Structure 1
Amino acid sequence: MKWLAGLLLLPLCLGHLNVYLSSAEVWRLLGLTAELFYVRDGQINFYALNFVVPVPATIGELHFTWQSLIRRPLPYSLHVDVVYDEPSKRGALHPPTFNISSEGFVPTEPQTWRVDLRCTRLVAAEADVTISLNVSTGSSSTALHFKRRKICLKDMPQQIIKVDNAHAPTSADIFYAGAGCAGGVLLIAAVAAAACRARARKLRRARSDEQDAHAFLPDSSCKSAASYTSYRRPTSLPAAAAEERARDLQQRIAELTIQRCRVRLRSVAMEGTFGRVYRGTYADEEAREQEVLVKTVAEHASQVQVSLLLQEGCMLYGLHHERVLSVLGVSIEDQTAPFLLYPWGAGWRNLKQFLLACRGVTVGGAAGVAPPPPLTTQHVVRMALHALDGLAYLHTQHVLHKDVAARNCVVDENLRVMIADNALSRDLFPGDYHCLGDNENRPIKWLALEALSKRQFSPAADVWALGVLLWELTTLAHQPYAEVDPFEVAAYLRDGYRLQQPANCPDELFAVMAYCWAMSPDDRPTLPQLQIFLRDFHTQLTRFV
């Protein structure tokens, strides 16, 4: 597993050393009840060391606990480096100090030492603080670097302040409080990975089979647009409710019906086992033509597949927003497969296919198309904001998407992203969907834990999937959890594991993703909070161009 890749043995000289944060310190910094080991019995957690832990303005000191596990103390030296975002703000932080000497010996009994990071409160700034610990036995030495991001605010007293959620948070509050919690989950999960891997996999598989035995019952119902008032999908529907749903779908189709003769198919854009997507044109009653994308099914498609195409294709019907691609019309004629029409502009592409093309992967329907230019972090953040705006609009209309992913978005030549429905996605992107013995393909690796194991959908579940979409953008559509068996994903998430930070992803951006993957839905950010932070982050990025 990728989480285990970062857990490497320290040199033999540190074979009996512990360096960790106590449960009280982890709670104070990250709001979690657990100990966080940087070094445990000679094993170093490089992931924990590489993660930059945010330190809010209300916290002015850091505590570390260490212990030499051999009969004699180990020599050490301590040093602190501070780097400011802007040189003009160097006066924001007093020189850091220790409550122990900068050189000495690691004691044989557990001892907690302190680093003071006091803000002057004269200027607001952010500073990267690196606390370097060098431990030696004479013949060799090893350096450990603890990274912190210290926030200083002007004219703010050094005390703990309770944030009132009723007021609009600042971007710093959103990121450094929320990302700290989510980042802490990731750090502690990495520490837990030091246990025996083979035994853990067996236990997770057994527990997953036991706990999820009743979670994957066949579900014959399918909601086209769920309300916030009903998160759990029932395994069966009363006859009256089923009839009402059927009438609603029939009404939508009747309102959208267009004449087949007005549609002209030009070329195949995508094709699956039973689904096909065409590029074409549609002429309205005044003979005005417009470019359209047409989704349909092959002749051998079953009635169930036809029904899913219509239900999922009409999911966003009646919604109008610049970041939402809604169905334009439906054509149903006897003895022929239904057509779903979507407005389509020149240069538009499926977002997942576009990302694959960005890293040189040839996809169907893209032959002869010039590869797109390289994406920068600014591009990624702006595209994420577009998807975020579209999803926020859906939530204001009390619509849960339930399948937010790159494959269900489109992008134009100016890198403007729109959220679309998931009609035909199971067929066109079969590698993204899996059936866990319940006769239903689902986007297992995009689902929040409660949606995966309990079928509980909510705005917070869409936020989780949005975090995976952001990960797709930064990795150019790599497969999430590629090394994890679909049957083990629920147990994998339940044990605290998450996607790893991409190599080219800034810490601030990855912290947003990690914040979206908090275990409890209540701990995940709201879409307005994400919009505030990403817009501020995008503004900061543009200052350097």
Structure 2
Amino acid sequence: MKCSVVIPVLTFLGFVTICKTDLDLYLDAHETYRLLGVNAELYYVRKGIINNYALSFVFPIHPDVQEIVFTWRSLRQGPPDIYYNMSFEVSNPRAMLIPVANISNTGKVPNSLSVFSITFPCTGKVSADVEVVIQMNISIFSASNISVLNFKRKKTCLMDSRYQKILRNKLYYNKIQTLSPPVNLTQNHVTVDGAATNVKMSTKIFYITVGCACAVIILIAMAVAIYYLNTQKGNNRGYSERIKYYDSTSSQQLTKQQSQSFLRSETPVDNSFKASSVRNYSSGPSPIPECFPPDPREILAEVAIDRRRISLGEIQMEGTFGRIYHGTILSESESETELGADQGIIVKTVSDQARPDQVHLFLTESCMMMGIVHQNIYPVIGACTDSTQPPFVIYPYSSEGNLKKFLLKCRVSETGSHYSLSTQQLVYLAIQIVKAIQFLHRKRILHKDLATRNCVIDNDLQLKVTDNSLSRDLFPSDYHCLGDNENRPVKWLPLEALVERRFSMASDVWSFGVTLWELMSLAQQPYSEIDSFEMAAYLKEGYRIAHPINCPDELYSMMSGCWARNPDERPKFSQLLVYLQNFYEALGQYI
């Protein structure tokens, strides 16, 4: 059971250090889902191998969770038996008592699969986050063969109502004491004959003090009540006047809002965006409060097409519920048909089994490029959302389709494809991506999911950046859930977006660096050897993706600049465009 050789092994939470303990100890899938929202087993010791990364993870415990259930068993079939010794440490004994296990603190590890639970008893006296360490020593009658397992937990304890009431009473008493006049304590010695007189005087002083304090409190309460009533009358008059104004101008305001370009509701903007986008009301009442985000079906209704004109062809990509088809928009009249007016299109849709929330997310993300016209932007040109059938979102025809799929076909050695891309052609694709993102930023839109999977390409290498609708379903290996029930492109995000959910132009620069790495590696998976749960720690320690094979050093240096930890130190897209254009011209001189 001694720790000897250290070998990297990929598990649920990353790399582990091998130490043989002849033991299984883990949280089963049901318990992990209850605590973290992840449907997977979390092993601390698996077939005798200790997962030190899992042990070092500080496990948060919600205030409503009172206990954690572990599953364990000894892997030894015969003697000697495995014994354990369990102890506990808490950082704040006033907030939480020592944890209690439903098994003894010392004993023998069972040979059959068993469970035991540990309860975390909060005192309720204070609200605090309590750090808890559960130490378990595993041994076989030898001090040199002891394996120490330290389980780190952070339990959130809340003050209960009983102690809240005591605290309120204490604060009220302290307030009364501060309002009381000072008592003369110079005469400390009282004779027996004068004791009754002094007690009587002290009682009178106490009642007088309490009475004065109560009178002051009542006067203050009356003044506050009078002020509140006067304020409410004024507000009611102002409110009625604003209602009259809004009734006469609401239709004009809504018309103005509909004429503006659509921004995704979850897309944050920096301070410069806010300053330039705030409307100027020089006179009149304050503006109408913000409304809820519009229904994406209403937005897509602006480009509605009769479903009977859509002819679906060969399926191009398919996921769990998402579908992408080659299709055709049929002409509206026979004269147009004679002139060959039928138009090739790409149709995104969902299956009948798609849930309503999946359909809503698909439509919402499809609205990202609505109304944007640029040679490197892939816009929505039509939609069918006016029936009970699955919705259609229609895009222009693209001969080669998805860029990531195209790059995979260009791996000649693996697929035998006739496609072959030079470094200059790859740089040309990167230049088009930069131009597209620059245009989106001028429209005050952050992409937040820039990758080769969200680009399409024609056979003449004309590239267009698309929205990310259906990407989670069509490329599930590129998205990961970190216990928050939200699939995110973890390995394309900078540290501030991954940990703090802060997005900016600089976060799109980081994603572009990863996208350029995809181009130069022909769609290899970034950070393929790193578990998604370890990405934040990996980036904090300064590690980045390795240099791709056959990638010029100058290009890799530019990628590395995009991955600076400080967002202010990353290059701007205008700088990236100049650098790539110069590099493209330099490559042309050698051909």
In the alignment, which of 293, 303, 306 is matched to residue 256 of structure 1? 303
In the alignment, which of 458, 478, 481 is matched to residue 504 of structure 2? 458
Tell me the equivalent position of 1:223: 265
CA–CA separation in structure 2 for the residues paired with 1:328 and 1:342: 5
Contact 2:301 2:385 in 1 (8 A): no
Alignment of 1:272-351 (within 5 A): 272-283=319-330, 285=332, 287=336, 288-345=341-398, 347-351=399-403
Contact 1:299 1:337 in 2 (8 A): yes
Tell me the equivalent position of 2:136: none
Q: 1:361 to 1:241 in 2, by over 3 A?
A: farther
CA–CA separation in structure 2 for the residues paired with 1:392 and 1:472: 20
Larger radius of gyration: 2
Contact 1:426 1:441 in 2 (8 A): yes
Please report how far the alpha carbon of residue 372 of structure 1 lies from its aligned counterpart in structure 2 after TM superposition.
Answer: 4.3
Q: 1:309 to 1:387 in 2, by over 3 A?
A: same
Please report how far the alpha carbon of residue 334 of structure 1 lies from its aligned counterpart in structure 2 after TM superposition.
Answer: 2.4
SS in 2 for 1:314: helix
Alignment of 1:143-542 (within 5 A): 202=53, 206=57, 223=265, 226-229=268-271, 243-247=291-295, 249-283=296-330, 285=332, 287=336, 288-345=341-398, 347-360=399-412, 371-542=417-588
- The residue identity in structure 1 corresponding to 2:395 is Y
Please report how far the alpha carbon of residue 209 of structure 1 lies from its aligned counterpart in structure 2 after TM superposition.
Answer: 7.7
Q: 1:349 to 1:401 in 2, by over 3 A?
A: same
- The residue identity in structure 1 corresponding to 2:314 is S
Q: 1:281 to 1:205 in 2, by over 3 A?
A: farther
Alignment of 1:36-185 (within 5 A): none
Task: Please give the per-residue CA displacement for 1:302-352, whole angstroms capped at 9, x wherever unaligned.
Answer: 00110011001111101100000011111013221000000114x232100
CA–CA separation in structure 2 for the residues paired with 1:384 and 1:473: 8
Please report how far the alpha carbon of residue 206 of structure 1 lies from its aligned counterpart in structure 2 after TM superposition.
Answer: 2.8
Q: 1:299 to 1:358 in 2, by over 3 A?
A: same
Please report how far the alpha carbon of residue 254 of structure 1 lies from its aligned counterpart in structure 2 after TM superposition.
Answer: 2.0
Task: Please give the per-residue CA displacement for 1:166-217, whole angstroms capped at 9, x wherever unaligned.
Answer: xxxxxxxxxxxxxxxxxxxxxxxxxxxxxxxx99973996379899x99xxx
SS in 1 for 2:57: helix
CA–CA separation in structure 1 for the residues paired with 2:55 and 2:584: 40
Contact 2:327 2:347 in 1 (8 A): yes
Q: 1:299 to 1:200 in 2, by over 3 A?
A: closer
TM-score (norm 1): 0.56
Please report how far the alpha carbon of residue 243 of structure 1 lies from its aligned counterpart in structure 2 after TM superposition.
Answer: 4.8
Q: 1:360 to 1:431 in 2, by over 3 A?
A: farther
- The residue identity in structure 2 corresponding to 1:476 is L
Tell me the equivalent position of 2:105: none
Q: 1:285 to 1:205 in 2, by over 3 A?
A: farther
SS in 2 for 1:333: coil
CA–CA separation in structure 2 for the residues paired with 1:490 and 1:310: 31
SS in 2 for 1:245: coil
- The residue identity in structure 1 corresponding to 2:319 is G
CA–CA separation in structure 1 for the residues paired with 2:564 and 2:554: 16
Task: Please give the per-residue CA displacement for 1:111-145, whole angstroms capped at 9, x wherever unaligned.
Answer: xxxxxxxxxxxxxxxxxxxxxxxxxxxxxxxxxxx
Alignment of 1:6-45 (within 5 A): none
Identity over the aligned pairs, expressed in percent?
Answer: 44
CA–CA separation in structure 2 for the residues paired with 1:381 and 1:515: 17
Task: Please give the per-residue CA displacement for 1:68-113, whole angstroms capped at 9, x wherever unaligned.
Answer: xxxxxxxxxxxxxxxxxxxxxxxxxxxxxxxxxxxxxxxxxxxxxx
Contact 2:322 2:349 in 1 (8 A): yes
Tell me the equivalent position of 2:212: none
Question: Relative contact order (alpha carbons < 8 A, sep ≥ 6): 1 or 2 greater?
Answer: 1
Q: 1:490 to 1:205 in 2, by over 3 A?
A: farther
- The residue identity in structure 2 corresponding to 1:380 is L
Tell me the equivalent position of 1:116: none
CA–CA separation in structure 2 for the residues paired with 1:401 and 1:333: 28
SS in 2 for 1:246: coil
SS in 1 for 2:343: strand
Please report how far the alpha carbon of residue 371 of structure 1 lies from its aligned counterpart in structure 2 after TM superposition.
Answer: 2.4
CA–CA separation in structure 1 for the residues paired with 2:272 and 2:391: 30
Q: Which runs of 5+ in 2 are unaligned?
A: 1-6, 8-48, 62-128, 130-152, 155-263, 275-287
Please report how far the alpha carbon of residue 495 of structure 1 lies from its aligned counterpart in structure 2 after TM superposition.
Answer: 0.9
Q: How many residues align?
A: 328
Q: Which runs of 5+ in 1 are unaligned?
A: 6-197, 215-221, 233-239, 364-369
Q: Where in structure 1 do 4 or more consecutive aligned residues deviate above 2 Å?
A: 198-211, 222-232, 240-244, 283-288, 360-363, 370-373
Tell me the equivalent position of 1:80: none
Contact 1:228 1:398 in 2 (8 A): no
TM-score (norm 2): 0.52
Task: Please give the per-residue CA displacement for 1:472-506, whole angstroms capped at 9, x wherever unaligned.
Answer: 00111010000000001011111111000012111
- The residue identity in structure 2 corresponding to 1:513 is M
Contact 1:204 1:488 in 2 (8 A): no
- The residue identity in structure 1 corresponding to 2:571 is P
